[in-house]
Structure 1
Amino acid sequence: MIRCHFARLMGERKLKIADVARDTGINRGTLTRLYYETAERIELEVLDQLCEYFQIDISDLLERVNSDQASG
């Protein structure tokens, strides 16, 4: 399972989805799906924009966890 740390990153910086959407031009629906970890696919350009925006590496945004770790 892939975990997305978008919500944590936003919380640490006290940002709202509207702030990130306005600053990056990424669709609010896309950001909402990332926030709630319901996205089924993500464009590479979106990942690149988010990494640039937060000044992070992709490994800070996405993490692969074993299925048993995901439930706990």
Structure 2
Amino acid sequence: MRCRLRVLMAEKEITQIQLRESLGLGSNTISKLYNNRFDRVDRETIEKLCDYFGVEIGDLFTLKDEE
């Protein structure tokens, strides 16, 4: 599974710091998702990210590398 956070952030032209401040997520959480080095993701984190970017879960996570 891959997280498309890097792509979504680039499209919105925001930094990890800006995202952290906007959503109140931890730096480690954002970094792990951004670099695809996560084992599991909290449901609340997924909901916050989907709401923030205006996407569905399938737009945030993919089963194969599409980048």
Tell me if TM exceeds 0.5.
yes
Q: What's the TM-score once normalised by structure 2's chain length?
A: 0.92
**Residue 20 of structure 1 aligns to a residue in which SS?**
helix
**Residue 2 of structure 2 aligns to a residue in which SS?**
strand
* C-alpha displacement of 1:3: 1.0
Larger Rg: 1
Q: What's the TM-score once normalised by structure 1's chain length?
A: 0.86
* C-alpha displacement of 1:50: 0.2
Unaligned runs of 5+ in 1: none
The one-letter code of the counterpart of 1:35 is Y
Task: Number of aligned residue pairs: give it.
Answer: 65
Unaligned runs of 5+ in 2: none
The separation in 1 between residues aligned to 2:52 and 2:11, in whole angstroms, is 14
The separation in 2 between residues aligned to 1:47 and 1:57, in whole angstroms, is 10
1:39 aligns with 2:33: no
* C-alpha displacement of 1:5: 0.3
